[in-house]
Amino acid sequence: MLSNKMAKAINEQINRELWSAYLYLSMSMYAEAKGLKGVANWFFIQFREEQDHARIFMNYLNARGAQVELQPIAAVQTSWDNMEQAFADTLAHERVVTEAINSLAQLAQDEHDFASQSMLRWFIDEQVEEEESVGDILNTLEQLKGLNQGLYMLDKDLSTRTYTVPSPLAGKE
């Protein structure tokens, strides 16, 4: 059985994931308004992934007989100085999410909750990928500084990103 403390912490993470989705949707709409459809695509896929992450946590709570308790989602930023700032904010945000996932993993370890530890392993690995992906984009933006077509080139590259259902949800939706 899942402890009340773990259920509460996971419900808080569900809210974080949904807030993240809302943030990435805002970033997607900002990029689209700037005519950067590839960047908008990248952020929209992030939006979908964060919704999926929330769903994975909800499925886990349901499977463990705990109540999903959805909370209000706080407002998010809606504009940035430039795309580099949007991606820098993304990396900073993903680092906060990583810390939250690590805190959940620590709680699961402290409570000897092996099922939660197993479930959280996927999220730990996912956060490494998330931070690396955004870091790569920021590195590319840095390399392209001074090139008139730099953002255009990145925009075209990001337009090729496609959505993939996370493995914990594969075949369940």
User: Residue 71: how many CB atoms within 10 A of its CB?
Assistant: 11
Inter-residue contact 38 to 157 (CB < 8 Å):
yes
Q: Is the pTM of this model over 0.85?
A: yes
What does the pLDDT read at residue 110?
98
User: Closest by alpha carbon to 10, among 50, 54, 74?
Assistant: 54
Whole-angstrom distance, CA of residue 153 vs CA of residue 83: 13
Count of residues making up the chain = 173
What does the pLDDT read at residue 71?
96
What does the pLDDT read at residue 15?
98
Six-digit token string for 171: 């075949």
C-alpha distance across the termini of the chain, in Å: 25
What does the pLDDT read at residue 39?
94
Six-digit token string for 57: 């946590």
One pLDDT digit (tens) per residue for the chain, 173 residues: 899 999 999 999 999 999 999 999 999 999 999 999 999 999 999 999 999 999 999 999 999 999 999 999 999 999 999 999 999 999 999 999 999 999 999 999 999 999 999 999 999 999 999 999 999 999 988 887 776 676 777 777 788 778 888 888 877 65
Whole-angstrom distance, CA of residue 39 vs CA of residue 154: 8
Whole-angstrom distance, CA of residue 162 vs CA of residue 80: 24
What does the pLDDT read at residue 54?
98
Whole-angstrom distance, CA of residue 167 vs CA of residue 52: 10
What does the pLDDT read at residue 44?
97
CATH of domain 4-165: 1.20.1260.10
